[in-house]
Amino acid sequence: MYSIIDIETTGNHAHRHSITEVAIINFDGEKITDQFSTLVQPDVPIPDFISHLTGITNEMVEHAPRWEEVMEAIDDFTRNRILIAHNAHFDYSFLKSAFLQSGKSFQRKTLCTLRLSRKIFPGLQSYSLRKLCAHFNIQSQSFHRALVDAVAALELFKLCSREDRNGIIQSSLKKTPGEYTLPPHLPKEIIPSLPDEAGVYYFLDQLQRILYVGKAKNIRARIIQHFTANSSTRVRTRLMNSIHHIRYESCGNELIAMLMESAEIKKHFPPFNVIQKISENNFGVYCYEDGKGYLRFALKKLHRTDQPLISFSSLQEARVFLNEKITEFHLCPKLCNLQRSIAACHDHAAGNCDGACIGEVSAEDYNARVREALSAMKQDSITCAIVGDGRNEKERSIVIMENGKYLGYGFAPVASVGEETSVTPSPYFESLKEIIQPQRDNREVQMIIRAYLRTHSDYQLQM
C-alpha cells in the first residue's frame, strides 16, 4: 500500500544533480513487508560538502550500480503504491527526472510527512525530520543516509496516522494531481479564484509579509507554473513552505505589470526576489556652452527636478555612453568632462583628438559634431506616451517618458484618452501627464520600456 522512500543526491536541483542512494520501505499500514536499499553511481563527482553531510564519498559509489541498473527494481518495488517521504516533492522530483532522462515515465501518488506534520502537529518551532524525531522521541541513528531517514519517516508517518483526528491523511489522498504541488499552508480554493489576466502577484507569509513579487500575462497560469515546476532547490522549498496567502493586482497589460513589479520589488525588497534589487542612484548627461563658445557635455547626479538629455542608473554607465559618443563623433574627452588636464587632452597626443581642447579646431566646426551627437542622443532620449489596454474595456493605461526620463503610469477612461494614436498635440500630452502616478526613474524601467516599444511601436504616442 505504501512505499516510504528517501534518496541522497549530489545537490538540490533535479535537473542538474544526480541520485547517490535510494532506500525504500514497503509498509501495509501495520507492518513492514519488504525493503530495498542501494548506493547509486552518479554521473558527476560528489561535492565535498555533500560527502561531509551524507557520509557518502566518491570511493563508496565507484563500483555501485548505475541508475539504469536499479530503476526497474525501483519501478517494480513502488508500483501501485503511495510514495511517502519527508519533503516528498524533493524525492519525487528527482525520481521523475531520473526516469525521464532514461526515457521512461514515473507517476505515483505521494504523501509528505512534512506537510502532514504541519497540519496534525501545528505550532512546532521546526518541522525538519531531525527536529521532529527529537521532539517525539523517535529513535534514529545519524541522519542523511537514505535507509536511516526512510525508517525515521516511517515512524513519523505511523505517529501522524495515530494522531490524525481530522482525517487529514485521507483528505490528502483524495487530492487531485495538481493539488499535490501546492504549498502546504495555501488553501486549495485560492488557485481557482485567481484571474487569467495580466498583473502582479504577491506571495505572503502567515503574517501577511511579502515573500515574493512576480508579474504575469496570466496570473493564474503563472502561479500554477511556480507550484508545478520540477525543481527542488533549498530556496524554493523554503519559499513553498512559507506561503500562506496570495494577493494580486490586475494591470491590464504586460508593460504595466513589468513596471509595477519593478517598483514593488524596490519598495518592499522581498526576501525571495534577488534579480531586480538594483541601485536607483541615477546620473544624467547634460550639454552646455562654455565661455569660448564650445558645446560641452557633463555628467551629474540627478535630482527630482532635473531634465537631463538622458539618464543612467550609475556613473559608470553614463561614462561608457559618453565614451561611445566621443568615438563615434570624434569629440574631445576633455570637453566632455571625462578627462582633466591643464593643456590638451590625453587623446590629442595619440592622434584621437583633433585639438578642440586647445583651440586648433574652431568652435563652429567642433559644435557641428556635438550637434550630430545631440541628435543621436535624442533618439535615446524618448518623449512619448504609451497607451495600452486597461483593466477593463472602459479604460486605457498610460505610460509617460519625457526627455528620456520615466515619469510614471496610470489609468484613464477611454473617452479622456481617445482612440486616435497617431497625433499627440503638446496640450494633450500635458493632460496625460496629470493622469499618471509618479514613479521613480531608473535604467531598469527604461530598458523595460525600450524593449517593449521595439515590438509595440503602434502604441507609442510621440511629441
State which fold the 190-268 domain adopts: GIY-YIG endonuclease (3.40.1440)
Higher pLDDT, 450 or 51: 51
Q: Which residues contact 41 (CB under 8 A, 6 or more apart)?
A: 61, 62, 63, 64, 65, 66, 67
Rounded to two decimals, the pTM is 0.54
Give how far Cα 250 sits from Cα of 62, 158, 227, 438, Å. 55, 45, 21, 19
SS (H, E, C) 309-374: CEEECCHHHHHHHHHHHHHHHCCCCCCCCCCCCCCCCHHHHCCCCCCHHHCCCCHHHHHHHHHHHH
Distance separating alpha carbons of residues 145 and 380, to the nearest angstrom? 59
Give how far Cα 402 sits from Cα of 17, 63, 300, 314, Å. 49, 67, 18, 19
Given this model, what pLDDT does residue 421 score?
A: 42
Q: HSE (CB half, 13 Å, CA atoms) of 210?
A: 17
**Mean pLDDT (whole number) for 432-449:** 84
In percent, the amount of the chain with pLDDT more than 70 equals: 90
pLDDT category at 427 given cuts 50, 70, 90 is: confident
Given this model, what pLDDT does residue 29 score?
A: 93
Question: How many Cβ atoms are within 10 Å of 150's Cβ, its own excluded?
Answer: 26
Q: HSE (CB half, 13 Å, CA atoms) of 353?
A: 22
Residue 144 designated active-site: yes
Cβ distance 152 to 16 under 8 Å?
no
Q: Report whether pLDDT(420) > 50.
A: no
**Which tens digit of pLDDT belongs to each residue from 127-173?**
889 899 999 998 766 667 899 999 999 999 999 999 999 999 988 88
User: What are φ and ψ of residue 439, in 5° steps?
Assistant: -135, 160
Residue ranges per structural domain of the chain: 2-174, 190-268, 283-380, 384-462
Given this model, what pLDDT does residue 463 score?
A: 47
Winning range, highest mean pLDDT, from 9-13, 63-67, 384-388: 63-67
Given this model, what pLDDT does residue 175 score?
A: 62
**Which tens digit of pLDDT belongs to each residue from 7-49?**
999 987 777 789 999 999 999 999 999 999 999 999 899 999 8
**Which tens digit of pLDDT belongs to each residue from 258-288?**
999 999 998 999 999 876 544 455 788 899 9
State which fold the 2-174 domain adopts: Nucleotidyltransferase; domain 5 (3.30.420)
Distance separating alpha carbons of residues 367 and 356, to the nearest angstrom? 10
Given this model, what pLDDT does residue 408 score?
A: 93
Distance separating alpha carbons of residues 283 and 316, to the nearest angstrom? 9
CA angle at 231 for the pair 229 and 235, rounded to the nearest 5°: 115
Q: What is the DSSP string of 395-438?
A: EEEEEEEETTEEEEEEEEEHHHH-S--S---HHHHHHHHTTSEE
Winning range, highest mean pLDDT, from 98-102, 314-318, 368-372: 368-372
- Of 13, 144, 245, 268, the catalytic one is 144
Distance separating alpha carbons of residues 71 and 103, to the nearest angstrom? 11
What is the average pLDDT score of the chain? Answer: 87
Residue labelled with grid coordinates 508579474: 215
Given this model, what pLDDT does residue 28 score?
A: 95
Q: Which residues contact 94 (CB under 8 A, 6 or more apart)?
A: 7, 9, 14, 17, 19, 232
**Mean pLDDT (whole number) for 363-373:** 95
User: What are φ and ψ of residue 4, in 5° steps?
Assistant: -85, 125
